[in-house]
Structure 1
């Protein structure tokens, strides 16, 4: 039965209108209740937890509703996230359980607005925990980084059994890197975090993508491990949740370190070293250069949360050491 209090989804007909309404709690709260009611799940009190690419509402009953529009790569995000939850089902990982899915407008001529209902991640985000941590909490943060290293190792070992993006022969990841290789210098010039002279050297620094990936078995890669997609115990006692699988690939595990280190850890190399220790990562002498290559090939504005002034660095190797040196 149609609820007369539901907002008109036809208002979202462009990227701009989607951007304006995607985190509007008043617009989405009735629709989230409608979705939960359709699945026979309790709604309780609902709220928007913060800024997100897709509309998300969380409930005090322990549920999260995530909706996917046709703008801002919504169809691709929905397909990837649904595939990821199916592949991750039963894995020994702190991933919330997928409880149900449906469509807000099934069977119509327009976009059906698919949604997923997921268990709400417990604890608080890494960003909240790190920002609130004092000097006495430093050992606990390092221990959490080591624990997440072990978690990341298990994530990378999940079998790639998906039908599309998470299958071993998927071309999504190498094709993405090839696109980024062509666009990265122009993007970084616009973002302004690095010197023009250094950016002049980037095309020669970046290898051919097929050469970069040659001989490496594809792994389950989470490409957006930023500071609010990782949850920890309120008392800093352990990793409690890993969410948001819209950017997942059958790809190279090095890619997953970029957002994790530069966004979640804010380029804290001591935290990075602890994570690599926990992951039993083979750190070679070429690690800083390799990771700088993946930094330039990443799909996001990865230096946005890095609290370092990098504009005076003109040498590629100096930048690699500054960001990724863990020796």
Structure 2
């Protein structure tokens, strides 16, 4: 039995806690919100994120960070914009022997770092890994079969993550390309937001298929420039995560995009849906594309819709009217 602490009582964090508990590990979920923790303890379930999923009594829920004492594994599952502040807040309780895991998807706005890189910068002496892939909490928490990757430059850390969370319903592959895995997981939210916009505009299946295909092309181009391996983007953390996020109504990015396509302002769409990682990531990704001189037309057009007041319908036309070219002439360039 290992001791696991989950940082963040959101849907995916609680889902991972359920799986670790089923694997007979000692699990505690820490959250900064007393209101959320007390509601879970009172109801025996997470009514807002995983309604109808009973939570085993063995899982602890607390706002006391001392719960991390003696943990073998610390899993960060908080919105990307809060990863650094939470990591800094918990420094008195985390020791170098603990393996730290990122399960959030996004890029830090000012530094362009992935979330595991943010954690590593705060904890340079710890082994750091990533859990990512097609994994909506609404399905993981209910035991719907799901397959993801555990990625780390430290393969023993990746193997530890694999061992602790593999189950009859969660199959985990090891990957040694955390940068590529996280770039795929972050940037697919941008494409999913754009896919939702197309849905809101009542575009068809052909449109979405084209958008997803050209979207993974953009993600790969930038991801390789940032040090990722090309094959990573053909896997679970690339095309796998892209498919589920573009096509599922569990996806907050897609739902926000639908509202924008229907005429709701981007700011109001994000307010209605909640955490929309693609909204924040689009800003960072567009800046990164310029830094690395990578062509990312979908990201560029979505950026103008989200932040410059551009028309969603015009953005589609702008993409369709781009100069003629070969399909692969700029890949990895």
Higher RCO (CA-CA < 8 Å; seq separation 6+): 1
TM-score, normalised to structure 1, is 0.33
TM-score, normalised to structure 2, is 0.32
Higher helix share: 2
